Chain A
C-alpha cells in the first residue's frame, strides 16, 4: 500500500465534499430524506397505534436503504465518472496524488454524508431509539455505507461518463434496494435479503424499533464485514487491471 499524505488526502476529500454538495449529487440524499418524509406521512395516515410505529420503522428503513444505494453507490460511481468526463482524474493522478489517497478521499465524504443523513432520518421518520439503538443503527449504517461506496467505486471504474455511471449502477442499485423492500412478499427474496448488506440494514432498523435485544445477529455482522472485504478484494483486482479508468 502506498503512503498516505495528509495534505493530499485532505485536499482530495475537500474537493470531493464540494462536489457532493453540487446539484448533480446532493439530489440523492435529498431524495432519501423526501422518501422518508412521504413514507412517514403515508404510513401515519394509514396505520395507527402499534402498527403506526412499524410504519415509521419502514419509512426509516426505506429512506436509509435509498440513501445507502443512491448516495453511497451512485454518487461515488458518478463522481469518479465525472472526473474522467471532465479530464480531471488524470490531472489529479499526475499531480502526485496516489491511488490510495484518491480512493479514501473519494469515499470519506460520501460515507460521512450517508451517515449524517441516516442519522437525520431517525427523527424525521418519528422513530425513537435509546443510546444502544443509536449506536447499533449508526454502526450498521456505517458498515453498509462503506460496502455501498466501495461497490460504487468498482462500477465507477467502468463508467466513462455520468450517463454511463447511471446506466451501469442502476441494475445493482435496483437489486440492493428492491430485494429487501419486497422480501416479505416472496420467500426467496427474503432469503436473499438476509445476505445483502442493505437487507441487514433494513432488518436492523426493524429489530431496533421492535425492541429486540439483539437487533443484529453475529451472522449478519459477519456477512456485512465479509461483503465489505469481498468488495475491497474485487476493487483491488479491477483497479490493478484498469487503474481508475478502464478505457
Chain B
C-alpha cells in the first residue's frame, strides 16, 4: 500500500449536467509511469486537476500519497510536482532566479539548482532572463523547477507538446532517470509514441471514459487480431505475410536460405488500438 502513490476509484466529474469524466479507475505505483492517452477534450487535464486538488470530483474516491483528494491542501504540493503546458515562468527573472525562489518556497537544497540546470541543459543559460528562452528551453526550466524538491509524484500534462524532437528526447531521458530514482509519474499525452516509450501502464481515455487499460504491450497484443509479418528480402523485395501455413513455409524458406534482411511483426500501435476501440484518431 505504501508503494501505491495514486488510486482512483469510480471518479466522475460533471459540469452542469455534462459528464466530463465517467467512472475512472486507475492505480499508480512508486517508480512507475502511468499514461493517460487521449485526444484533446478527452478529460486528461481535468483528471490531473482533480488529482492535484485543483478541482473537486462530482463523485468517486481518489487518493494521492494516501490523502483523499477532498482533503488536499497546499501542503501536498511539497510532495508533488506539476508540469503543464500552461505552467508559467517569471520572464523578467533569470533562469537561476526562477529556480532559486521556488527552491526557497519548497525548502529544496540550493545545490540542486545547478545540478538540475545541468541535467536539463540550461546551465549556460542560467543568467539569461527566462523570457528570452525558447519554448523548448522554457519547458525544460518548468520541468527542472517542478522536480527541485524531489517530489514523490510528478504530474505531467502534455510535457512535450509542441517541442522539437531533440528537446522531447531530452525530457524523455530525464523522466526515465527520475522514474528509476523511484518517482511516480502521471503523464497525459496524445502522443502515442511517447506513451509507448515511457509508460508502464496506459489508460486510453475517450470522452471522459477509460476505454482500455494495461501495459502498452498488452494493449497492442490484445488488438493484434490478424497476425502478420513484414519481411524485407536481401534483393529489396518487401512481403507481408499472414499467419497461414503457406506464408509460414515461405518465411521459413527465406530464413533458411538467409534471404531475409529484416522481419517485423505488424501488431497495432497504440494509435491503431485507440482507433479500433473508439473509431476516432488520437490527435
Contacts and interface: CB of A to CB of B under 8 A. Distances in A.
Contacts of B74: 2, 93, 96-98
A97 B73 CA distance: 10
Interface string A8-19: 101110110011
Interface in B128-148: 145
Interface stretch (A83-91, A195-203, A233-241): A83-91
Given A94-B54, A96-B106, A88 B92 contact: no
Given A18-B92, A22-B92, A10 B77 contact: no
A95 B104 CA distance: 11
Contacts of A12: 105
A2 B90 CA distance: 26
Nearest to A93: B74
A7 interface: yes
B104 A87 contact: no
Contact of A15 (B75, B101, B107): B101
A97 B82 contact: no
Contacts of A92: 105
Interface string A165-206: 000000000000000000000000000000000000000000
B119 to A, nearest CB: 20
Given A7-B105, A11-B101, A15-B101, A94 B77 contact: yes
Contacts of B73: 98
A94 B104 contact: no
B105 A18 contact: no
A19 B92 contact: yes
Contacts of A89: 88
B29 interface: no
A242 B101 CA distance: 26
Contact of B75 (A10, A19, A90, A96): A96
A87 B89 CA distance: 7
A96 B52 contact: no
Nearest to A84: B88
Nearest to A86: B88
B105 A94 contact: no
B78 A96 contact: yes
Interface class of chain A by DSSP: helix
Given A94-B77, A96-B75, A88 B90 contact: yes
Contacts of A90: 54, 86-88
Nearest to A99: B74
Nearest to B76: A96
B105 A8 contact: yes
Contacts of B180: none
Interface in A1-52: 2, 7-8, 10-12, 14-15, 18-19, 22
Nearest to B97: A18
A94 B106 contact: no
Interface string B63-87: 0000000000111111000100011
A89 B101 CA distance: 14
A100 to B, nearest CB: 10
B90 A10 contact: no
Contacts of A95: 77, 102, 105-106
Contacts of A97: 74, 105
Interface of B: 52, 54, 73-78, 82, 86-93, 97, 101-102, 104-107, 145
23 contacts: A2-B74, A7-B104, A8-B105, A11-B101, A12-B105, A15-B90, A15-B93, A18-B93, A18-B97, A19-B92, A22-B92, A86-B91, A87-B87, A88-B88, A89-B88, A90-B86, A90-B87, A90-B88, A92-B105, A94-B52, A95-B77, A96-B76, A96-B105
Q: Which 8 A-B pairs have the closest CB atoms?
A: A87-B88, A88-B88, A96-B77, A11-B104, A86-B88, A11-B105, A98-B74, A11-B101
